Amino acid sequence: MNPTLKLALVLIIALEISFTQVWTVNVALLVVCFILMIAYRVKLKRLLWLTLVPLFFATALVWSLSLQGSASSHFLIVIFTRMFVYVYMGGVFTQTTEPLMLTRSLEQNAKLPSKFAYGFLAAFNLLPKIRTEVATIRAAALMRGQVLHVWSPQLYFKVILVAMNWSDQLASAMASHGFVEGAPRTHAVTVPLPKWNWWVCGMSLVAVQLGLFWGLP
């Protein structure tokens, strides 16, 4: 399915279930997401992780709400299942979507300006380098007997200087490779947006609306 459309669908449903309190729809969404993840061969380890983590947080939140608050049991069930829906829907989305395809699709199908699309991509590809850099900064400080914590301004100071440096270099590199902001572009890879995608998206939304406003518990 087209990444932009998929993202829009996931976001709309997530917003809707946040504002409504129908646990049956939550459970139905859970089942659908679970089947989709199985169908797309999501690894068992990942699936377990996606189940155990929300299980802990949902249980802790519900426990806390019932100790410190005055929520009805219906509302507690809604909150509990809602958390799983967020995680499972997110799981279906991230496990079936490549960041690269999403950015391409956002540029081509959602008309995101190309400077944003390529700017993001340039930075995302630095991810491994960024991880190493954080470790390097900490190690370099340790050698001078300084421990950099999450609350140390020096850590962020150094990180910001590196970020400025790299973004300068990357921007010049892109310019020297012929990237011109706002210039019309052709695409080596086109992301298709077939008609059936719109049907799937529309039908899913109709189904969710029916479920939410039919009067189900």
Partner 1 sequence: MKGWHVRDIIFVTILAIFMGTIFFVTGPLYTVLAAALAPAGLQPLANELLLGIWVMAGPLAGFIIRIPGSATLGEFLGAVVEMFFGGIWGASTLISGALQGIGSELGFALTGYKHYGWFTLALSSLTTAIVTFGWDMIKNGYASYHLGFMALLFVVRLLSIFFFGGVLTKLIANLLVRAHVLPSAAH
Q: Which of residues 133-192 bind partner 1 (CB under 8 A)?
A: 133-134, 150-151, 153-157, 159-164, 166-168, 170-171, 174-175, 179, 181
Binding region for partner 1 (CB under 8 A) out of 22-30, 85-93, 191-199, 207-215? 85-93
Residue 57 touches partner 1, criterion: CB under 8 A: yes
Residue range at the interface with partner 1 (CB under 8 A); choices 35-43, 74-82, 192-200, 209-217: 74-82
C-alpha distances out from residue 191 to 100, 101, 105, 110, 177, Å: 11, 8, 6, 11, 23
Per-residue mark of binding to partner 1, 16-55 (x: CB under 8 A): --xx-----------------------------xx--xx-
Phi and psi torsions of 214, nearest 5°: -85, -20
Q: Cβ of residue 127: shortest distance to partner 1, in angstroms?
A: 6
Nearer to partner 1, 175 or 210 (CB): 175
Q: Which is nearer to partner 1, 46 or 187 (CB)?
A: 46
Choice between 57 and 194, CB closer to partner 1: 57
**By rule CB under 8 A, what count of residues binds partner 1?**
75
CA distance 106 to 83: 27
What's the rounded Cα separation, in Å, for the pair 32 and 208?
12
Measured from the CB atom, is 108 or 137 closer to partner 1? 137
Spatial separation of the C-alpha atoms in residues 26 and 16, rounded to whole Å: 11
Per-position b or e across 105-130, b if 16+ CB within 10 A of its CB: bbbbbeebebbebbbbebeeeeeeee
Give the Cα separation of 22 and 201 in Å (integer): 21
Q: Which is nearer to partner 1, 194 or 213 (CB)?
A: 213
CB of 56 to partner 1, least distance (A): 8
Euclidean distance between the first and the last CA atom of the chain, given in angstroms as a whole number: 31
